[in-house]
Structure 1
Amino acid sequence: VSWNSILSGYLKSGNLEKAQRVFDEIPRKDVVSWNSIVSGYAKIGKMDEALFLFQQMPERNLSSWNTVISGYVNCGSMESARSIFDSMPIKNNVSWITMISGYSKCGNIESARLLFDQMNEKDLFSYNAMIACYAQNGQPKEALGLFNQILELDSKIQPDEMTLVSVLSACSQLGDLRLGFWIESYINKHRIHLDDHLATAFIDLYAKCGNIDKAYELFRGLGKKDLVAYSAMILGCGINGKAIDAIELFEEMINAQICPNLVTYTGLLTAYSHAGLVEKGYQCFDSMKDHGVSPSADHYSIMVDLLGRAGRLEEAYELIKSMPLQPHAGVWGALLLACRLHNNVQLGEIAAWNCFKLEPDTTGYCSLLSNIYASVERWDDAGRMRKVVDEKGF
């Protein structure tokens, strides 16, 4: 058995301490030995140790450089990753794609696109990374634009399952069911395998676009239902007013010992809100911490909407004041909408002024407050708000 095989065995079993001892005892360390130990430290985020060993290497190959870049990317240290990337004597597509994916994870779309444009030889994997970057960071039109570029290349680059998952995500964000149908026919035409990952992307699209029966059909046909699939179905049921189905799916998921995440609770709380089940919604909201999930501002927004629909405006306001994190405009906007629904001027003013502070250029808040004033015949105040809207050019 070679030294490198022993070293690899310890690293695969997660025993880095013994791996280091073996590495130290290797009489003639080659580039494989060095790459293995550097990778071992990088994979568990010990980048100081990984970098120290990398700098001691007598010779490096592309794998050496890419290992360190990948380690920094996984730690979210993009400045360090970029420094190593810029120092590389020769880069391959793995180097570029790792950096693009890293920028994508931290939401730096501009830097990702700049690198993508600098690539001399773009392959399917580089296109997939950039399309995913756009889709995952809320720029669906740009994702679809890049997908069209692939199609215009004729047969030079053929989209695969990963491409289509990102494209379907973009379709979901735009509510574009027609393109979803086109992709389905494209899959059949090119005999692309509809794996669970791709099927889940279709489930998300169909559910969000209101075709809940089609989503259910795909969901029940999945070989293995995971967190993403359950969350997509629960959210789909929630936004389509199928509260009972959402609750049943959630219980099925818990029984399958799949832990819910933020998206799961967004769907479930939305279902309770649309069904007007206030107490059930409260129980669900309070149970989030039991599953190790901390409510986000979006979850508070749904709860404010739930209470607001039920006319419990004071309760909604108290919930906002109790938030352990800063309320965003969506939270105050939910309260403002509820105040418009129930003609509550006092809380409506509080909600509106907070919305103005957070999003001063959004005139919809002025219109809502104007309508609240008009509902109680405060015509001067209503006119003043209308004037603000007119002055902003809307």
Structure 2
Amino acid sequence: MIESGKLDDARKFHARMRSGGVLFGAVLESVLINALMRSGRSSEAFLVFGGMNDRNVVTWTSMISGCVHNGRPEMAFPLLVEMMESGVPPNDFSFNSTLQACAAMSALGQGMQVHSLVIRSGLEDDTRIGNCLIDFYSRCGSVDEPVLVFDSIPDPDVVSFTSLISGFCKNRLFDSAAGAFVDLIRCGVNPNEHTIATILMACHHLLGKQIHGYMIKAGVQRNLYASSALIEFYSRNDCYSEAWEVFSKLEETKSVVTWSSMISCCLRDGREEDALRVFYEMISSETQPNEYTFATLIGACGNHTDLLPLGRQLHGSTIKLGFSSDSRICNALITMYARNSAIKDSETLFDKSATPDVVSWSGVISGYFQNGFPERSVSFLCRMHRRGLTPNEYGFSSAISSCGNLSLLDQGRQLHSLALKTGCDLNLCVGNALISMYSKCGCVDAAKSAFDAMAARDTASWNSLIHGYAHAGRGTEALQVFDEMRNPAVPDGTTFVAVLSACSHAGHADRALEHLKTMQRRHGVAPSAAHYACAVDALGRSGKLLEAARVIGEMPFEADCLAWKTLLAACRRHGSVELGELAARRVMEMEPKDSASYVLLSNLHAARGEWEEVRRMRRMMEDRGVRKEAAWSWIEVGNQVHAFVSTDKSHPSTEVIYRRLEELNAQMREEGYAPALVPSAYEW
């Protein structure tokens, strides 16, 4: 019955005969157990096993092996122990299956006990057991033991070498993996497609080219498994043309893995159109994409807003093909929608996910931050933590950056503490977020401490610290950090925005001009409109208004609104009406609906007592329909942010707040403080 595929009939017949007192014996019942395990019916196999009076080594081994193949590896070692206690000695198949189970659970202690039993049983020279031991130790993260086991094998075969190479790759010992491959060739052992695919994951470019040559000589170039690995190798080494040549020569023998590898290669090389063309050819060849194919393409759609419609089509295809519940695809869709400002779609997908993982949570947290919802980003990370999940570096960096945007210092410190506990504080993007958060919250010394604690720093790390010092008015320290930066890191455009801003705050107008003139020659960074605006600000703060105007006139491109607005603010500060009116006219021409130019020029006239001009500016704003939006301020009290505007009376504690303000004003007057009031005709 079993050989003819009638497993249900065999199971019923066995149950009926057993109830009638018929004993089948260990051999037949072992065959039934093995068939049930292979069919994924492990619970029924355990029922048959439990009712057996006589069990031999095949019975026990079928149970151990079946548990491994049915996702129940934790049952394997107890079965081996029970097998030995029953007086049945394990054979090589029993040990191999148990070692596979220990490897699946990374149960190093149990596996070492099995290794000891192997030696006691006199099977330590068995090549198959040796290969399983190499794989077991490698998957448990051991480095020396696989080599010792390999050296103890009397006659290692291609599987032995492949297991050792794979183990080295798993533990990122790529030089050792390459050395083992060279030893394999020297020993006269012919590598198979699995050996080649494994070593291509680890080798450098020259060795990979040599392996490609060996594949051509050995006639395995068109092996799908090895060719897919070769395409991935060339892709990883930025050799697009070589990868395409390998792919093209496969002709009609391409598999879904090969197609997917080529699509991934196109995307890695920035060839989105080629990736889509390969995908359409794949569909035309009647090769059905798998989860990896969809996840790769959907991820690419998240990097380009114009590909969102295609991303939606791919989403629909995953639903039709039944892939929508796959975690990789779900996470790719969450990220794609978030990056394309479709945060509602991202939320919907997350809510529909049965078991969202860390990547799912982090995708939504990052999406909220990227789409201007910092409060939700922080709240979502806290919710994730309450569910018992540990955020990854992307979740931490987005939530910590959100705290910086909201000036939530206490909340940011709590997230910093959580990152310390989980070890994520050492991650580069988390460290950069901490520097930025503390700087925006006005704690530059804490930002410097976070900077000093980083194991590795990139240009963004230095930029964040320089910006922090500059915005805190500590320009001299910002410039000192820039001087330290130029050796280990390469300044970019953002660096010079921070440096020029620091010069402005420190009163170093001449030094700002020097940086502006030399940044391209010394560092290869061409000045942008933002850099010129910073230089104008530095000159304006120093009262050098004519020089500031000259910088605007000498810009290699037409000055934008920011440069003229910066000059206007400087004119307001130093009372230069004529130049201020010129700057205001240019701003109004570029952005007639922007209220800043009207308000700054009006205040400039008000400071000089020119009230008719103030009224004229007000009428101009009314005629043009320009409205000044009230500026908001906020303060954090007891982990809650309170936002307010000037003369705001919407807060529940308004009476208490204003009473306290009156008390403070009275106290200041008693102590002789006289505020410098600038008269204004209107409340802006």
| TM superposition score normalised by structure 2 | 0.49
**Is it true that 1:31 corresponds to 2:261 in the alignment?**
no
Give the direction of change, closer, same or farther, for the CA distance of 1:146–1:341 in structure 2 (3 Å limit): closer
Match of residue 328 from structure 1: 560
Give the direction of change, closer, same or farther, for the CA distance of 1:381–1:43 in structure 2 (3 Å limit): farther
**Is it true that 1:95 corresponds to 2:95 in the alignment?**
no
Coordinate RMSD, CA, aligned: 3.9
Kindly indicate whether the alpha-carbon contact (under 8 Å) linking 1:81 and 1:99 is maintained by their aligned counterparts in 2: no
Say which is worse superposed, 300-309 or 65-74, in terms of deviation. Answer: 65-74
Could you report, residue by residue, the CA deviation over 1:70-123 in whole angstroms, capped at 9, with x for unpaired residues? Answer: 643652x55665676786733348436733652489999436658745577554
Could you report, residue by residue, the CA deviation over 1:329-376 in whole angstroms, capped at 9, with x for unpaired residues? Answer: 322221111121223333323322333344333212211122234445
What is the distance in 2 between the residues matched to 1:323 and 1:148? 45
Q: In structure 1, which of residues 183, 188, 210 is the aligned counterpart of residue 442 of structure 2?
A: 210
SS of corresponding position for 2:593: coil
**Is it true that 1:231 corresponds to 2:463 in the alignment?**
yes
Kindly indicate whether the alpha-carbon contact (under 8 Å) linking 2:197 and 2:229 is maintained by their aligned counterparts in 1: no
Could you report, residue by residue, the CA deviation over 1:236-265 in whole angstroms, capped at 9, with x for unpaired residues? Answer: 1111122222222222222x4322222322
Give the direction of change, closer, same or farther, for the CA distance of 1:41–1:389 in structure 2 (3 Å limit): farther
Kindly indicate whether the alpha-carbon contact (under 8 Å) linking 2:358 and 2:391 is maintained by their aligned counterparts in 1: yes
Question: Aligned-pair distance for 1:326?
Answer: 4.7
Aligned amino acid, residue 260 of structure 2: W
Question: Aligned-pair distance for 1:129?
Answer: 4.4
**Is it true that 1:384 corresponds to 2:616 in the alignment?**
yes
Question: Aligned-pair distance for 1:214?
Answer: 1.5
Match of residue 541 from structure 2: 309
Q: In structure 2, which of residues 509, 516, 519 is the aligned counterpart of residue 285 of structure 1?
A: 516
Correspondence 1:1-394 to 2 at 5 A = 1=185, 2=191, 4=196, 8=200, 12-13=204-205, 27-28=219-220, 29-40=222-233, 42-43=235-236, 54=247, 56=251, 58-61=253-256, 64-65=259-260, 68-69=263-264, 71-72=266-267, 75=270, 78=272, 89-92=289-292, 94-95=295-296, 98-99=299-300, 102-103=303-304, 109-110=339-340, 113=343, 116=346, 121=353, 122-129=356-363, 131-132=365-366, 135=369, 137=370, 139-141=371-373, 144-146=375-377, 148-149=379-380, 151-152=382-383, 154-155=386-387, 157-187=389-419, 191-197=422-428, 198-254=430-486, 256-289=487-520, 290-376=522-608, 379-390=611-622, 391-394=625-628
What is the distance in 1 between the residues matched to 2:442 and 2:298? 35
Give the direction of change, closer, same or farther, for the CA distance of 1:114–1:325 in structure 2 (3 Å limit): farther
What is the distance in 2 between the residues matched to 1:114 and 1:17? 47
What is the distance in 2 between the residues matched to 1:185 and 1:334? 40
User: Taking every aligned residue pair, what percent have the same amino acid on both sides?
Assistant: 24
SS of corresponding position for 2:582: helix
Could you report, residue by residue, the CA deviation over 1:142-191 in whole angstroms, capped at 9, with x for unpaired residues? Answer: x5525534544553743122210122223223333232123124335x54
What is the distance in 1 between the residues matched to 2:241 and 2:205? 22
Give the direction of change, closer, same or farther, for the CA distance of 1:127–1:371 in structure 2 (3 Å limit): same
Question: Aligned-pair distance for 1:274?
Answer: 0.5
Kindly indicate whether the alpha-carbon contact (under 8 Å) linking 1:204 and 1:232 is maintained by their aligned counterparts in 2: yes
What is the distance in 1 between the residues matched to 2:485 and 2:474? 17
What is the distance in 1 between the residues matched to 2:595 and 2:405? 24
Aligned amino acid, residue 280 of structure 1: R
Kindly indicate whether the alpha-carbon contact (under 8 Å) linking 1:73 and 1:102 is maintained by their aligned counterparts in 2: no
Greater gyration radius: 2
Aligned amino acid, residue 619 of structure 2: K
SS of corresponding position for 2:303: helix
Kindly indicate whether the alpha-carbon contact (under 8 Å) linking 1:104 and 1:133 is maintained by their aligned counterparts in 2: no
Question: Aligned-pair distance for 1:315?
Answer: 1.9
What is the distance in 2 between the residues matched to 1:134 and 1:63? 36
Aligned amino acid, residue 8 of structure 1: L
What is the distance in 2 between the residues matched to 1:124 and 1:304? 46
| TM superposition score normalised by structure 1 | 0.80
What is the distance in 1 between the residues matched to 2:207 and 2:582? 58
SS of corresponding position for 2:555: coil
Question: Aligned-pair distance for 1:272?
Answer: 0.9
> Unmatched 5+ residue regions in structure 1?
none
What is the distance in 2 between the residues matched to 1:354 and 1:85? 51
Give the direction of change, closer, same or farther, for the CA distance of 1:114–1:277 in structure 2 (3 Å limit): same
Size of the aligned set, in residue pairs, is 388
Kindly indicate whether the alpha-carbon contact (under 8 Å) linking 2:232 and 2:265 is maintained by their aligned counterparts in 1: no
What is the distance in 1 between the residues matched to 2:473 and 2:507? 10
What is the distance in 1 between the residues matched to 2:588 and 2:240? 44
Question: Aligned-pair distance for 1:208?
Answer: 2.5
What is the distance in 1 between the residues matched to 2:514 and 2:432? 28
Say which is worse superposed, 383-392 or 21-30, in terms of deviation. Answer: 21-30
Kindly indicate whether the alpha-carbon contact (under 8 Å) linking 2:247 and 2:258 is maintained by their aligned counterparts in 1: no
Kindly indicate whether the alpha-carbon contact (under 8 Å) linking 1:100 and 1:129 is maintained by their aligned counterparts in 2: no
SS of corresponding position for 1:257: coil
What is the distance in 2 between the residues matched to 1:172 and 1:11? 43
Kindly indicate whether the alpha-carbon contact (under 8 Å) linking 1:70 and 1:98 is maintained by their aligned counterparts in 2: no
SS of corresponding position for 2:603: helix
Give the direction of change, closer, same or farther, for the CA distance of 1:7–1:183 in structure 2 (3 Å limit): closer
Kindly indicate whether the alpha-carbon contact (under 8 Å) linking 2:575 and 2:604 is maintained by their aligned counterparts in 1: yes
SS of corresponding position for 1:102: coil
Kindly indicate whether the alpha-carbon contact (under 8 Å) linking 2:368 and 2:376 is maintained by their aligned counterparts in 1: no
Kindly indicate whether the alpha-carbon contact (under 8 Å) linking 2:266 and 2:274 is maintained by their aligned counterparts in 1: no
Question: Aligned-pair distance for 1:308?
Answer: 1.0
